[in-house]
């Protein structure tokens, strides 16, 4: 497996990581725990060294899963987790909370669940409008000084917030959605990251599964699947958005690859400091995604993709309105 550095931080990870959220949360009922432990350990065998979780996934159970699965590989892998939400008694999100005291509480609890002595990469999950980002960065800076956290990250933050945070405590990575069907980071965020020397971790690099070509307007999702409330996933929008999958299929046939592999290879070709973290619960998909590092897109391939993609208007917002308000701040 190739390695990549997240910006100028010196944090080196596998060129493709593993997003673990969907094993416990977001895409239907949690998968079998023992099967997921096997899947995570298989990822390590295949060269993956970068694993993404959060206290919010479950909540808590995904961190516990990742902690148990990776216990035999301490020191060999990088685990990223996140803070910034509060939860009600039923485990539902009940708002944001990035107060410094709360950040410290979350860090202590995550250390226990992950069974580690230090959190490799600690992201603010979403920007909290009630807490100045300087206070957030300062709180993580203290945790880094104490050896409880190694690197500071932000998720779905806007360029100005990134700059303000970075001035207090260097930001190692920004995590946001980025793929061929969501390219908003290219406008302001990627140039800011390049200027500041910050890495980019791309979640949903396969468009929440859509870019694999396995989803069409007939697909039905479990009632607990987050995609049921995503405008981009209405049946009519799924039908309209097949043009993007058709493009990936066409390139995939030329390269003897799959649409998912082309989508990941495209991301890897954008910048050397971009690391996609596709998630899966299936071994076959894990192996397929990891093999994307071996798919080489030439400048001509990239021009062909760019030319075709520029003619496609993706239909539907990527979040319902109440969640859209939390991003890009």
Residues forming the active site: 57
Token representation of residue 234: 């209405």
Cα atoms in the Cβ-side hemisphere of radius 13 Å centred on 155: 22
Of the candidates 43, 37, 93, 87, the residue with the CA atom closest to the CA atom of residue 62? 37
Contact predicate 232/316, CB 8 Å: yes
Contact predicate 27/227, CB 8 Å: yes
Contact predicate 25/62, CB 8 Å: yes
Of the candidates 84, 148, 85, the residue with the CA atom closest to the CA atom of residue 121? 148
Polymer length in residues for the chain: 329
- Cβ atoms within 10 Å, residue 276: 26
Token representation of residue 48: 């993956």
Distance CA 209, CA 221 (A): 12
Q: Which strand ranges, in their side-by-side order, compose the sheet holding 78-83? A: 18-19, 50-52, 78-83, 119-124, 149-155, 171-177, 199-203, 274-276
Q: Is 57 helix (H, G, I), strand (E, B) or coil?
A: coil
φ/ψ of 246, rounded to 5, equals: -60, -40
The dihedral through the CA atoms of 158, 128, 56, 5 has a sign that is: positive
φ/ψ of 20, rounded to 5, equals: -100, -5
Residue with tokens 């140039």: 191
């Amino acid at each position: 497996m190739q390695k990549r550095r997240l910006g100028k931080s010196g944090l080196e990870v596998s060129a493709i990581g593993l997003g673990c959220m969907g094993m416990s949360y977001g895409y239907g009922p949690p998968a079998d725990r023992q099967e997921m432990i096997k899947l995570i350990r298989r990822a390590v065998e295949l060269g993956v060294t970068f694993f993404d979780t959060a206290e919010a996934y479950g909540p808590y159970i995904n961190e516990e899963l990742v902690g148990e699965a990776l216990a035999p590989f301490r020191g060999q892998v990088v685990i990223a987790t996140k803070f910034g939400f509060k939860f009600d008694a039923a485990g539902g999100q009940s708002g944001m909370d990035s107060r410094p005291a709360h950040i410290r509480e979350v860090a202590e609890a995550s250390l226990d669940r992950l069974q580690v002595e230090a959190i490799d990469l600690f992201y603010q999950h979403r920007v909290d409008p009630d807490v100045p980002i300087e206070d957030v960065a300062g709180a993580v800076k203290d945790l880094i000084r104490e050896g409880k956290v190694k690197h500071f990250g932000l998720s779905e933050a806007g360029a100005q917030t990134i700059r303000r945070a970075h001035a207090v405590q260097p930001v190692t990575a920004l995590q946001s959605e980025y793929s061929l069907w969501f390219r908003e980071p290219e406008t302001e965020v990627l140039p800011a990251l390049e200027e500041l020397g910050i890495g980019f971790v791309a979640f949903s690099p396969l468009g929440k599964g859509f870019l694999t070509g396995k989803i069409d307007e007939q697909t039905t999702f479990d009632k607990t699947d987050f995609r049921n409330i995503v405008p981009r996933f209405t049946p009519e929008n799924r039908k309209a958005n097949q043009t993007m999958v058709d493009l990936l299929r066409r390139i995939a046939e030329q390269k003897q690859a799959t649409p998912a592999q082309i989508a990941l290879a495209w991301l890897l070709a954008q910048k050397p400091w971009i690391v996609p973290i596709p998630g899966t619960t299936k071994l076959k998909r894990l192996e397929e995604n990891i093999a994307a590092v071996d798919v080489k897109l030439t400048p001509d391939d990239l021009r062909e993709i760019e030319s075709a993609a520029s003619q496609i208007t993706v239909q539907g917002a990527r979040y319902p309105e109440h969640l859209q308000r939390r991003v890009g701040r």
